[in-house]
Amino acid sequence: MLKVRNLSKRFDKVQAVDGVSFDVEPGEIAVLLGPNGAGKSTTIKSIAGLLRFEGQIHINNVKNKEVEAKRAFGYIPESPALYENLTVWEHLEFIARAYSLGDWEDDANRLLARFEMDDKKDKLGKELSKGMQQKLSICCALLIRPRMIMFDEPMIGLDPTAIKELKSIFVELKDSGCAVLISTHLIDSVDEVWDKVLIMNKGKIVLIRTRSELDSTGESLERIFFEVIGRKEEGEG
């Protein structure tokens, strides 16, 4: 579903992403882990078509910047940015129109109910709290019924109920055959759901492991993470 080959991105003198390659298959949850500044967000923004890059990115066998590729993926940015003067419902309507969705209203209602926002349909973007904005941002991405979806630090700002709901959504997306890519630096937040982990450090992918590979060695994700990024695990001398 998602194929990234030799992805590189340079900002002036900083090589933010350096020759990164990986795949995310349909029905797979891949987690992009890494410390701050590892290049996770730049990788996601490049895949979302917001940055120019070197290398190849294909979504559903189409180049990521093609309109057909855009139809297939959803993107939830790190900081939610909404239209200040559009209501919650109008955001969803805009997305439905932009993606030419049919019969979207029931799905929209279901999503809002799941995130406990069904009573906030008429609230303007600027009237929402940061957590609510994040929830709406997630609803907008899910509404398009994506075949591939990217979450950039999705848990930040969410309440415990929403985090729990989001985790079950990850699993539902996977079960429906959607390829899921989650970027985060909070290992615990994705520990229960991931199928493949991609650990990034200093712009490179330093380790790719599947859950079964890790299970067979009996190592914990946290230990592996600290090992490969070359820092001592918290609590250890």
Partner 1 sequence: MRALLFLVGKNLKNIIKSAFKRPLTLIGYIIALLFIIFVIVAAFAMPSGLVRMSSPKLFRGIMMLVFSFLYYTSLKIGIEKGSSYFRMADVNMAFTSPLHPNQVLLYGFIKQLGGTLLLLVLAMCQIPNLKNNFAFEPHGVPMLLLAVVVYTLAYPLISMVIYSWTSVKKERKKLMKRILDAAALTVVLIFILDLSRTRNFTESLGNVFDNPIVHYFPVIGWTGSIASSAVSAFDASFYVGSAGMLVLIIGLSLLLYRMKLDYYEDVLEATEFAEQVIKAKREGKNVALYLKTRKNVRSGLSGQGAKALFAKNILEIRKTSLVFFFDRMSVTVILSSVIFRLIMPSEIGSFSLLIILAFSVYMMLLIQLQGRWAAEVEKHFIFLIPASSYEKLFYATLSDHVKNLSDGIVLFTLSGILFNADIPSILASILSYVAFGAVFVYSDVLARRLFGRAHSKNLILFVKILFSFALIIPGVIAAVIAASITGIELMATGAVGAWAFVLAITLFIFSGGIFNNLEAVS
> Where along the sequence are the contacts to partner 1 (CB under 8 A)?
12, 48-52, 65, 67-68, 70-71, 73, 75, 77, 79-87, 90-91, 93-95, 97-100, 124-125, 137, 140
> Which of 71/110 has CB closer to partner 1?
71
Residue 188 C-beta: closest distance to partner 1, Å: 26
Residue 80 C-beta: closest distance to partner 1, Å: 8
Residue 73 C-beta: closest distance to partner 1, Å: 8
Residue 72 C-beta: closest distance to partner 1, Å: 9
Residue 193 C-beta: closest distance to partner 1, Å: 23
> Which of 112/224 has CB closer to partner 1?
112
> Which of 68/213 has CB closer to partner 1?
68
> Which of 73/194 has CB closer to partner 1?
73
> Which of 93/222 has CB closer to partner 1?
93
Give the 3-state secondary structure of the chain: CEEEEEEEEEECCEEEEEEEEEEECCCCEEEEECCCCCCHHHHHHHHCCCCCCEEEEEECCEECCCHHHHHHEEEECCCCCCCCCCEHHHHHHHHHHHCCCCCCHHHHHHHHHHCCCHHHCCCEHHHCCHHHHHHHHHHHHHHCCCCEEEEECCCCCCCHHHHHHHHHHHHHHHHCCCEEEEEECCCHHHCCCCCEEEEEECCEEEEEEEHHHHHHHCCCHHHHHHHHCCCCCCCCC
